[in-house]
Amino acid sequence: MSGKYILDLHTHTIASGHAYNTINEMIRAAKEKGLALLGIAEHGPGMLGGADKFYFQNLHILEREKYGIQVRYGAELNIIELDGTVDLEERSLQDLDYCIASLHYNCMTPGTEKENTFALLTAMEHPKVSIIGHPDDGHFPVNYEELIREAKRQQVYIELNNSSFNPKGFRNNAWENNIQILKMCMKFEEPIILGSDAHREEDVGQFSDAQKILDFVEFPESLILNGSAESMKIRNLFG
């Protein structure tokens, strides 16, 4: 990690079913890496092994500051229908600090570009959704211009997901698709947010692959939300 980024809002713990550290381990790892804010967004129940609704409804008992850093608790919602339906109901969404909404190949059969785009636009209408997770998966073609225009209007941010570039990962054409996304964000001056998508403590705050593509397209630092405390304007995180 370069040290210039101080927040990571996309991490998972053992509660997600296929991640391997506890909340406390993830917070300590974030602290060691110099982060000021860690977000833990567990997979919702639509994913095999994901956390159930009572897990999310009880997150209010956890302190939002621990080991000297800020911690926020949310969900990575699975979009499970092409109409934008997500896998947690209103009652469970109410108490979450924030949500990431994502398309996952193992949770919904991809539609056409128009259908996938509609699903993302509808999901982001929910006031708890702050981030669209990894919209770069070639399994789900998306109209990036429409997505980014609407994200800007709704003050929702598009994620550049470090794990999308993992050669053992499940996403297709991440490099090519992210070049399109980043260029579109530059055109519309829409900030992006880097997410590690860490499923183990070693990967918290790990943005090195994302950094390569940012450098490649000469993406302006002023449009990267992870940079400074003042840039923590993300919907829902601070009051």
Q: Quickly list DSSP for 60-105.
A: GGS-SEETTEEEEEEEEEEB-STT--BSS-HHHHTT-SEEEEE--T
Task: Output the smallest distance, CB 34 to Zn ion, in A.
Answer: 24
Task: Output the smallest distance, CB 192 to Zn ion, in A.
Answer: 16
Alpha-carbon distance of 47 to 231, in angstroms, equals 31
- Of 85 and 220, nearer to Zn ion (C-beta) is 85
- Of 14 and 186, nearer to Zn ion (C-beta) is 14
- Of 46 and 133, nearer to Zn ion (C-beta) is 133
Task: Output the smallest distance, CB 9 to Zn ion, in A.
Answer: 12
- Of 48 and 229, nearer to Zn ion (C-beta) is 48
Task: Output the smallest distance, CB 120 to Zn ion, in A.
Answer: 13
Task: Output the smallest distance, CB 112 to Zn ion, in A.
Answer: 21
CA dist list (Å): 202 to 21, 80, 195, 207: 10, 30, 14, 12
Task: Output the smallest distance, CB 41 to Zn ion, in A.
Answer: 9
Return the half-sphere exposure (C-beta side, CA atoms, 13 A cut-off) of residue 197.
Answer: 24
Angle at 133 between CA 84 and CA 87, to 5 degrees: 40
- Of 13 and 102, nearer to Zn ion (C-beta) is 102
- Of 102 and 177, nearer to Zn ion (C-beta) is 102
Q: Quickly list DSSP for 99-133.
A: EEEE--TTTS----HHHHHHHHHHHTTSTTEEEEE
Strands 98-102 and 157-161: unpaired
Report the interface residues with Zn ion, using CB under 5 A. Answer: 102, 133
- The tokens for 235 are 């919907």
Angle at 94 between CA 91 and CA 99, to 5 degrees: 115
